Amino acid sequence: MEQQGGASKRKRSSIHSPSSGTSSRSPVKELAPPPSPRPGYTPPGRLGAPRMELYQDARLHPRLREVLAQQGLDRYHVPTSLATLSPSSTLDELQASMTAAEQEWENLHEALPNSLPSDSLELEVETRNETITGLDANLVTLKIYRPVLRGGPLPCIVYVHGGGIPVMQRETKVHRRWCTSLAAMGMVVVSVDHPRSRRGLTGFQPHPAALNDVCAAVHYVHSHRDDLNTINIVLHGEGGGGRLVLAAALRAKREGWLNKIDGVYACSPFISNAYNWSEARKLQELPSLVECHGYMLNVDHMAYMAHLYTPNSADATNPLAWPYHASREDLEGLPPHVLALDELDPLRSEGEGYVRKLAAAGVLAVGEVNIGSVHAASVVFRQAVPEMHRNAVRSVAAFARQA
């Protein structure tokens, strides 16, 4: 298999050596928080206590604390499959480790209970699969969810699942339930399968393979509005899916088809590729990467995921790969955006920064932070925090109706 730009399959990783879960400073200094800028104030999370674990953070929602403890995710965690990676790991080794990590997360998604008593009161939802031709003459599978009850045209949500890319399949129980919840609110939900971002017929295919598939889905939905009986096409995704829908809007502007997108709603997007920056730069620009490091997501290993997604250095700050690096010119004229973020998510700061950039460029942009929440909890931990789940579903549906 060839990598982009003709790079060898045995190409060495160019990422920096990730820090371990503990600091290189002496244990005594490590346990002591840095001097507070104000008397009596301790900075939150690992900014104030560098060895703080998630379960020790008083901000964590109590029911999330309970379910995370049950799953062993309430403290610093290095997936077994990723523990042997190093800066000298090859792309093949990275892919093998990510495949194993993917299975761990999929097992978690299947094990988590996510039904609610109110499910029996929802509108009945039907599904069907549609296979379309992608931009690279490949096949892309769409799963279409819609209410059984027929009426007038419905808002359409083009949904891209999370998992960081290159981790997670579309068809986990968590993502199926999320799409069903949205469709039961009177939406047509088109869920995009993008396995080429992980492994295709010829092996792993990095950026822009997954983005191409998402763009193909948008073109299909727009050209089949009458068949689908839809209005208002909104792009929506969480985590790595959030990155792809933000990037699709940027690409639509560049290529002249922005009229096909009425809005973008991204949850906890994975968009900076800043995961191997120095700690000083993280603290200055994206402090949650330090504050919440190890809070369910391990920032060091997110650097490996990012490198596998964009192995070519030319894409390290390419806005179509990593939207955080979009310029004002890239952003001007985009449709309305909502970014829903989580207080205890390492990715929170990059989402906040993107909202500020959108607003500075004149885009109608709203940023929301779920207090006490970890990464994508409203999607993943539906039964533990049903109020977060319901609020998120209603927010996405309301945005799609108004777009």
User: pLDDT of 170-214, one tens digit each?
Assistant: 578 999 999 999 999 999 999 998 766 544 445 568 999 999 999
Phi/psi at 146 (5° precision):
-160, 155
Lowest mean pLDDT among 137-141, 154-158, 252-256: 137-141
The per-residue pLDDT for 234 is 99
Query: In the predicted model, is pLDDT for residue 21 greater than 50?
Result: no
The span from the CA of 127 to the CA of 146, in Å, is: 7
Residue 190 contacts residue 142 (beta carbons within 8 Å): yes
* Average pLDDT of the residues in 261-271: 99
User: pLDDT of 284-330, one tens digit each?
Assistant: 999 999 999 999 999 998 999 999 999 999 999 999 999 999 999 99
Give the neighbor-by-neighbor strand order of the sheet with 188-192: 125-133, 139-147, 188-192, 154-160, 230-238, 263-267, 337-342, 365-370
First vs last C-alpha separation in the chain: 42
The span from the CA of 248 to the CA of 152, in Å, is: 28
Buried b (16+ CB within 10 A) or exposed e, 316-353: bebbbbbbbbbeeebbeebbbbbbbbbbbbbbbbbbbb
Cα atoms found within 13 Å of the Cα of residue 242, Cβ hemisphere only:
26
Residue 148, helix vs strand vs coil: coil
* Average pLDDT of the residues in 24-42: 62
* Average pLDDT of the residues in 229-238: 97
* Average pLDDT of the residues in 22-42: 60
The per-residue pLDDT for 196 is 60
* Average pLDDT of the residues in 38-57: 95
Angle, vertex CA 265, rays to CA 272 and CA 63, nearest 5: 85
The per-residue pLDDT for 9 is 43
The per-residue pLDDT for 87 is 80
pTM of structure: 0.90
Torsion sign across C-alpha atoms 219, 223, 229, 234: positive
C-alpha closest to that of 246 among 185, 186, 162: 162
The span from the CA of 49 to the CA of 54, in Å, is: 11
User: How far from 243 is each of 10, 90, 196, 384, 403, CA to CA, in Å?
Assistant: 27, 25, 16, 26, 20
The span from the CA of 221 to the CA of 160, in Å, is: 14
The per-residue pLDDT for 263 is 99
User: How far from 172 is each of 25, 289, 340, 379, CA to CA, in Å?
Assistant: 41, 27, 22, 12
CA dihedral 360, 284, 338, 115 (to 10 degrees): 180
Please, which residues have CB within 8 angstroms of residue 85's CB and are 6 or more apart in sequence?
A: 93, 94, 97, 301, 304
User: pLDDT of 320-339, one tens digit each?
Assistant: 999 999 999 999 999 999 99
Phi/psi at 18 (5° precision):
-75, 150
* Average pLDDT of the residues in 64-68: 98
Burial class (CB in 10 A: 0-12, 13-18, 19+), 21: middle
Burial class (CB in 10 A: 0-12, 13-18, 19+), 63: middle
Chain-centre distance of CA 54, in angstroms? 20
Report residue 254's pLDDT band, with 50, 70 and 90 as the boundaries.
very high
User: pLDDT of 69-124, one tens digit each?
Assistant: 999 999 997 777 777 888 888 988 888 888 777 788 888 899 999 999 999 999 99
Domain ranges of the chain: 110-402
Asked if residue 208 has a cis previous peptide bond (ω within 30° of 0), the answer is: yes
Query: In the predicted model, is pLDDT for residue 245 greater than 50?
Result: yes
User: How far from 47 is each of 35, 57, 198, 255, 366, CA to CA, in Å?
Assistant: 11, 12, 34, 42, 26
According to DSSP, the residues that pair with 160 across neighbouring strands are: 192, 237
- Can you name the CATH fold of 110-402? Rossmann fold (3.40.50)
The span from the CA of 300 to the CA of 25, in Å, is: 18
C-alpha closest to that of 138 among 194, 204, 219: 194
